[in-house]
Amino acid sequence: MDMDAWPGSEPGLGAFLRSRRERLTPAAAGLSGGARRRVPGLRRDEVATLAGLSTGYYTRLEQGRHVSPSPRVLDALARALRLGEEDRLRLHRLAGRNTRRTTAPARVQRVGAAVRQLIQSWTATPALVLGHAQDILAANDLAAALYGDFSRTDNLLRMLFLDPAAAVFHRDVEQARRRAVADLRQTAAESPDDHRVRELVGELSVRSEAFRALWARDYPRLPPYEVKRVHHSAVGDLELHREALAVRSAPGQQLVVLQAEPGSRSADALALLGALGASRAARRGRDRDA
């Protein structure tokens, strides 16, 4: 007998999750249905991916193996399973949680004035500040020019998986994606209830098959970044050394610096990119004054 299904009582958490998973079609969840499926509805790994959970953790939930999910995990599951408000409340009740929505303290996403001034003073080195979910919170002029081929420069993962420019900009886009997903997996493991991370995982899981495949894969953590090899439409190929430094005044934020070897072709390309950016800014200023 199923551990959480008892005659004459309301189905337990596991049975409820399983029933809602089996009734949700891949199309309704924003996934490709594939040619043939051996199970009705979604698979466990698909629900786990959409909710930003590991497959093992979600499996334990369905099996009733003494897992006590937090309210934010339950809300992530409700979104993944496309539950209405009544079913969302029922999910919380079955898990023994208060059904009132609560808001966990948000991480600091503002960049301090001193840090902004610092990166803007580096005119020969691209620098940016990343949030814990790889949101780009601030960038100096040269970093903005370096990423200028992207349609949006808001989040490194969204840029890597949702913008076609990534396949040209990154000379090894698959390696860049694996590294970025490994970083996100570490953040998710350290902060399993983080709303921003779950939101990002859910969006990318729905919109990118490549992200879903990497997120579901188990692989060892990759070594730190050493050299970032990219291609810019205006100045060609660049090789940049990447350093990431923690911002002590804002936990979760990183200051990322991309440096070219002095005297190298990449250093010359960065100088040209900065000059092109300054020229465009001057033209915009003249147009505004005209």
User: Which are the contacts of 11, defined by CB distance < 8 A and separation ≥ 6?
Assistant: 4, 5, 19, 94
Report field, pTM of the whole predicted structure over 0.75? no
Asked if residues 62 and 48 have their Cβ atoms less than 8 Å apart, the reply is: no
Tokens of 208: 């990118």
Strand 236-246 versus strand 127-130 pairing type: unpaired
Distances (CA, A) of 24 to 47, 80, 85: 10, 10, 16
Provide the H-helix boundaries in the chain.
13-23, 44-51, 55-63, 71-80, 85-94, 113-120, 141-146, 156-162, 166-169, 173-190, 195-207, 209-216, 265-289
- Mean pLDDT estimate for the chain: 83
Nearest of 267, 248, 244 to residue 257 by alpha carbon: 244
Tokens of 199: 């939101």
Q: What 8-state DSSP symbol labels residue 155?
A: B
> Which band of pLDDT confidence, cut at 50, 70 and 90, is reported for residue 189?
confident
Q: Which pLDDT score is estimated for 5?
A: 39
> Which band of pLDDT confidence, cut at 50, 70 and 90, is reported for residue 187?
confident
- Domains annotated for the chain, with CATH where assigned, are 13-94 (1.10.260.40), 113-289 (3.30.450.180)
3-state secondary structure of 157: helix
Tokens of 178: 């694996």
CA–CA distance, 149 with 151 (Å, rounded to integer): 7
CA–CA distance, 101 with 178 (Å, rounded to integer): 34
Nearest of 82, 54, 84 to residue 69 by alpha carbon: 54
For 208-237, the DSSP string reads -HHHHHHHH---PPPPPP-EEEEEETTTEE
Number of Cβ atoms within 10 Å of the Cβ of 63? 15
List pLDDT tens digits, range 161-184. 999 999 999 999 999 999 899 888
List pLDDT tens digits, range 135-157. 999 999 999 999 999 999 999 99
Q: Which pLDDT score is estimated for 186?
A: 82
Q: Which pLDDT score is estimated for 73?
A: 85
Convert 141-168 to b/e letters by CB count within 10 Å (16 or more is b).
Answer: bbbebbbbbbeebebbbbbbbbbebbee
Residue with tokens 């990318």: 204
Lowest mean pLDDT among 27-41, 164-178, 241-255: 27-41
Return the half-sphere exposure (C-beta side, CA atoms, 13 A cut-off) of residue 78. Answer: 22
Q: For 48-75, what is the HEC assignment?
A: HHHHCCCHHHHHHHHHCCCCCCCHHHHH
